[in-house]
Amino acid sequence: MAKVLVVTSGKGGVGKTTSTAALGAALAQTGQNVVVVDFDVGLRNLDLVMGAERRVVFDLINVIQGDAKLSQALIRDKRIETLSILPASQTRDKDALTAEGVASVMAQLREKFDWVICDSPAGIERGAQLAMHHADHAIVVTNPEVSSVRDSDRIIGMLDSTTEKARNGGKIEKHLLLTRYDPARAARGEMLRIEDVLEILSIPLLGIIPESEEVLRASNLGAPVTLSSPDSPPARAYAEAARRLEGEKLEVTVPVERKGLLARLFKGKS
Amino acid sequence: MSLFGSFFGRNTKTSAPVARDRLQILLAHERTGRGNESDLLNKLQAEILEVIKRHIAVDQDKVQVKLDRGNSVSMLEIDIEVPQMRPSGQP
């Protein structure tokens, strides 16, 4: 039975696309069939972050409008055989996404894959609503920062009211993914504490992704971070989150400050 | 940290030049409006299929179009699954 996930946040720039790519790759690396779907029509970027930008022929809108078959628009990842991407259109506008069209594509994807991961556009409008509409699970990506937490709260409200599951009296499963967490700043009291964010949003924690230079390196290279540097702290955190999605009960690793050599030598002097 | 990292040969290949090259190729296509290749590809696919269909029955679903955009040359690959042909007169 396929699971449909939406990666959403309300606010832009918090790490939705990075997280979609990393979680999709992490799940596919365990041998499951995964498709990542870009819903950001007009401003697609998942293809670029996944390193598939040169291979896009058809996109989600082409499939919805019947110009291409789904199998023709899916791009198979060159590194992981069980990972595919369905790109968004770069040229059409978001009105080309119809509710019926999206429903039909999602139904087809459910047949083909174990996991369907929808990368939502920022905002709370049509595109974001369509991205979350068919989801069984939602991953709410949040930075430990006031505006991000506020927008996440808004999105959580929408997940509980406008999705198909909610309309049918069910409940969409929500998970908090805290990204760009800086343990050093948190230790100095300069950043919202994890407990505070959890208390305010009160949804279960899926993982904490530490702020890391490896994330930028991964997008530079066009590879999900779990592939480009699998042993790095963010990659481990994503891999852990993926295992939790699969139902494993794992304690969430809280990133700790990793002091550099100089900082350790001069400990207490600065 | 990064200074020490490079001393010890960690991440010796920097990623920024890769990012620049990828963006240059991508944006060169998108700025000239070639980003919307799917209309051309649609036509190509339809016409190529039409020609082939005159001779063989082809399943529309068994056609795959692949593309790899390069800096100066792009590769278009059209994969058509052709059903087993039987000598005429046999069922």
> What pLDDT is stored for residue A234 in this prediction?
97
Judge whether residue A266 has pLDDT over 70.
Answer: no
- Is A30 annotated to bind a ligand? Reply is no
Give the phi and the psi of residue B76 in degrees, each rounded to 5: -110, 130
The angle formed by the CA atoms of residues A180, A185 and A189, to the nearest 5 degrees, is 125
Q: How many A×B Cβ pairs under 8 Å?
A: 62
Chain A CB within 8 Å of residue B77 CB: no
* DSSP class per residue in A124-161: SSHHHHHHHHT-SEEEEEE-SSHHHHHHHHHHHHHHHH
Q: Do A220 and B19 make contact, defined as CB atoms within 8 angstroms?
A: yes
Q: Which of A69, A71, A91 sits opposite B35 (nearest CB)?
A: A91
From first to last of its 91 residues, chain B has per-residue pLDDT tens of: 445 444 554 555 789 889 988 888 888 877 776 555 667 777 777 788 788 888 888 777 777 888 887 777 778 888 888 777 666 544 4
Give the largest Cα separation in chain A, rounded. 67
Q: How far is A222 from chain B (nearest CA, A)?
A: 8
> What pLDDT is stored for residue B38 in this prediction?
63
Chain B CB within 8 Å of residue A43 CB: no
User: Structure tokens of B33?
Assistant: 């409006």
Give the phi and the psi of residue A190 in degrees, each rounded to 5: -100, 0
Mean pLDDT of chain A: 93
> What pLDDT is stored for residue A109 in this prediction?
98
> What pLDDT is stored for residue B55 in this prediction?
85
The answer, yes or no, to whether ipTM is higher than 0.90 is no
Q: Which of A104, A130, A100, A113 is nearest to A40 (CA)?
A: A130
Q: Do A57 and B37 make contact, defined as CB atoms within 8 angstroms?
A: yes
Chain B CB within 8 Å of residue A55 CB: yes
Give, in order, the Cα–Cα distances in Å from A119 to each of A7, A24, A90, B82.
Answer: 5, 10, 15, 36
Q: How far is A160 from chain B (nearest CA, A)?
A: 37
Q: What is the pTM of this model?
A: 0.86
Q: Are A138 and A159 in contact (CB under 8 A)?
A: yes
Percentage, residues of chain A above pLDDT 70: 95
- Identify the DSSP state of A162: T
